[in-house]
Amino acid sequence: MHNLPDNLAQVLDRIHSASNQFSMPSPQLLAVSKKRTAAEIREIYNLGVHQFGENYLQEALTKKADLTDLDITWHFIGPIQSNKTRLIAENFQWVHSVDRIKIAQRLNEQCPEGKVINICAQVNSDGEDTKSGMAINELSDFADAMTDFSNLRLRGLMTIPAPRDSFEAQKQVFTEMKETLHSLKAQHPQLPLDTLSMGMSSDLEAAIAAGATIVRVGTDIFGPR
């Protein structure tokens, strides 16, 4: 269960097989290391994965301080409170969980000079009030606001769908994301929209079938949390 080399090899094999099966490009693997130790991150890094996703700011900063000798690209993927934006802007190259203009505005203002932060708009693909993420009909205004945020690059969409019980149902929600990104690109051709951050341990094949460019995998690499 905690054999990280075997786990990682299996995940990479699943990604490779799904890409072949569905004739899609292989997405980038983002290793989701929330609740795992710096030593575990180092082990996965040494096996060739250099992109890590974290959900909890304080926990991430503690581990990051232990890993300064590694060339890690850090992605923030957790819920964002506005009083946390400065440290997120200072410590992460990517932020997948931007769910309102106000958060983007603060990240832009607090971005260190000379740095550009890649962001994704988190979309609530299930339309439940309780889940974070913006509604699809809020995306156009969000993308318009990017004109004012020169330190941010809106790269695409991130979503965390509720579990579904069939591959087809999983794929359907991811395909809606792909279509949403496609229309956003048509409306905002000036934006560098090339990213669909979708698919986790339980649904990465369906996400790849629908065109994911980044899959975010925690459990199947590191074991259960």
218 binds ligand PLP (CB under 6 A): yes
Q: How far apart are CA 79 and CA 98, in angstroms?
A: 8
> Which candidate, 169, 157, 154, places its Cα nearest to that of 198?
157
Closest contact distance (angstroms) between CB of 222 and ligand PLP is: 8
Closest contact distance (angstroms) between CB of 69 and ligand PLP is: 26
Binding mask 175-194 vs ligand PLP (x if CB under 6 A, - otherwise)?
--------------------
Closest contact distance (angstroms) between CB of 72 and ligand PLP is: 17
105 binds ligand PLP (CB under 6 A): no
Binding mask 123-162 vs ligand PLP (x if CB under 6 A, - otherwise)?
-------------------------------------x--
Among 32, 44, 111, 136, binds ligand PLP (CB under 6 A): 32
Residue 53's DSSP bridge partners are 32, 75
Residue with tokens 């794929």: 171
- The residue (of 138 and 220) whose beta carbon lies closer to ligand PLP is 220
Among 120, 200, 206, 208, binds ligand PLP (CB under 6 A): 200
**Residue pair 221/11 in contact by the 8 Å Cβ criterion:** yes
- The residue (of 127 and 189) whose beta carbon lies closer to ligand PLP is 127
**Structure-token pair, residue 111:** 């971005």
**Residue pair 81/60 in contact by the 8 Å Cβ criterion:** no
**Structure-token pair, residue 201:** 């341990």
CA dihedral (88, 93, 95, 100) positive or negative: positive
26 binds ligand PLP (CB under 6 A): no
**Residue pair 188/173 in contact by the 8 Å Cβ criterion:** no
57 binds ligand PLP (CB under 6 A): no
Q: How far apart are CA 206 and CA 6, in angstroms?
A: 22
Residue numbers at the binding site for ligand PLP (CB under 6 A): 32, 34, 55, 77, 160, 200-202, 216-220
